[in-house]
């Protein structure tokens, strides 16, 4: 019992080592239980908080599940039409070159509707940061097949699994834009375990630091789960993601300091 007393005794503000950042509003998130969006939002806000750039940051919320991101992030935000977030970000960045501009997009938004905007913004090398959440499905509209859906993966519009002969192959848009000379930093991370969350935060921090140095576009892809769309429990969907998504969408840096990273045996094992 004495031990219990000591435990409750440390619940004081001066002993806090981790709490939700003040840049996340108190509004309950509209996402499903276990969705990676919440963690990604929080890491992004923590980076902005730690860099102390709140009054100089403008975010663009996309169309999709995270369309209400402006309700949850206590920063200046704009909503873009379907897939047009990089175009809007380009405009804002050119008007205010000293501001930090980021877009937060899902795979249906960035890799399907907004492919042209994404590729051309990357090709122009705009000084913006694109945060790309890849869950291999259109989560908000009911789990339809997205360009990033894996071969054989079931969705509501591919109930027998994605057949690559008729439905095409999954689009690795992150690797695609990494080839463009205007892109300076490209990485792929995840947010389902503490270790991955820490790595994602570091990657986001780096992306924003590069924006300060006017180096070019940085793209951080976060492979995430969609337990409602995949019809699994959150824990099982994270496991499924590790077993099926990660072999295809390999985590790690793809382009660092404007140079493509050459994958070796040791770096893949990580």
Partner 1 sequence: MAKVIGDIAIDIEKCKGCEVCLAACPFTVIAMSKEVNSKGYRFAMKVNNECTGCTNCALVCPDGVITVYRAKVETV
User: What is the contact surface with partner 1 in residues (CB under 8 A)?
Assistant: 3-4, 6-12, 15-20, 24, 28-29, 31-39, 42, 191-194, 197-198, 233-235, 238
Residues 6+ apart with CB under 8 A from 243: none
CA separation for the pair 132, 23 (Å, rounded): 20
- In terms of CB distance, is 66 or 118 closer to partner 1? 66
Taking CB atoms within 8 Å and a gap of at least 24, the contacts of 162-171 are 170/136, 170/248, 171/111, 171/147
| Closest separation in Å from C-beta 197 to partner 1 | 5
Contact partners, residue 23, CB within 8 Å, separation at least 6: 45, 46, 48, 49, 54, 73, 74, 75
Nearer to partner 1, 20 or 263 (CB): 20
Cα gap 51→47, rounded to integer Å: 6
**Token pair for 101:** 């501009």
Q: Which is nearer to partner 1, 35 or 88 (CB)?
A: 35
Q: Are 92 and 166 in contact (CB under 8 A)?
A: no
Q: How far is the CB of 60 from partner 1 (least distance, A)?
A: 22
State the nearest-atom distance from the C-beta of 134 to partner 1, in Å.
Answer: 16
Minimum distance of partner 1 from residue 104's CB (angstroms): 15
Nearer to partner 1 (CB atom), residue 53 or residue 232: 232
Cβ proximity to partner 1, 35 vs 122, nearer residue: 35
- C-beta of 6: minimal distance to partner 1 in Å? 6
DSSP letter for each residue of 167-233: H-PPP-HHHHHHTSTTEEEEEEEE-SSHHHHHHHHHHHHHHHHHHHTT--EEEEEEE---HHHHTS-
Q: Taking the complex as a whole, how short is the minimal distance between the CB of residue 232 and partner 1, in angstroms?
A: 12
Distances (CA, A) of 154 to 49, 130, 143, 158, 258: 39, 28, 9, 6, 36
Q: Which is nearer to partner 1, 6 or 262 (CB)?
A: 6
Q: Which is nearer to partner 1, 8 or 166 (CB)?
A: 8
Least spacing, CB of residue 181 vs partner 1, in Å: 35
């Amino acid at each position: 019992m004495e031990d219990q007393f000591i435990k409750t005794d440390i619940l004081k503000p001066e002993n806090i080592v981790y709490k939700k950042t003040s840049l996340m509003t108190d509004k309950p998130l509209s996402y499903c239980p276990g969705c990676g969006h919440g963690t990604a939002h929080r890491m992004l806000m923590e980076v902005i908080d730690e860099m102390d750039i709140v009054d100089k940051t403008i975010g663009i919320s996309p169309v999709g599940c995270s369309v209400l991101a402006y309700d949850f992030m206590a920063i200046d935000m704009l909503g873009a039409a379907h897939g047009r977030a990089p175009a809007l970000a380009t405009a804002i960045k050119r008007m205010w070159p000293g501001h930090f501009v980021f877009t937060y997009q899902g795979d249906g938004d960035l890799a399907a509707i907004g492919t042209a905007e994404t590729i051309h913004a990357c090709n122009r090398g705009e000084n913006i940061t694109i945060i790309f959440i890849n869950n291999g499905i259109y989560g908000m509209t009911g789990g339809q097949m997205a360009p990033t859906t894996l071969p054989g993966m079931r969705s509501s519009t591919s109930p027998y699994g994605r057949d690559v002969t008729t439905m095409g192959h999954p689009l690795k848009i992150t690797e695609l834009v990494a080839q463009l000379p205007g892109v300076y930093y490209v990485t792929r991370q995840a947010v389902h375990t503490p270790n991955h969350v820490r790595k994602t935060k570091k990657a986001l921090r780096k992306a924003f630091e590069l924006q300060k140095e006017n180096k070019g576009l940085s793209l951080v892809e976060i492979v995430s789960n969609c337990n409602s769309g995949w019809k699994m429990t959150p824990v099982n969907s994270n496991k499924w993601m590790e077993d099926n998504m990660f072999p295809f969408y390999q985590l790690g840096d793809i382009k660092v300091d404007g140079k493509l990273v050459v994958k070796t045996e040791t770096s893949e094992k990580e």
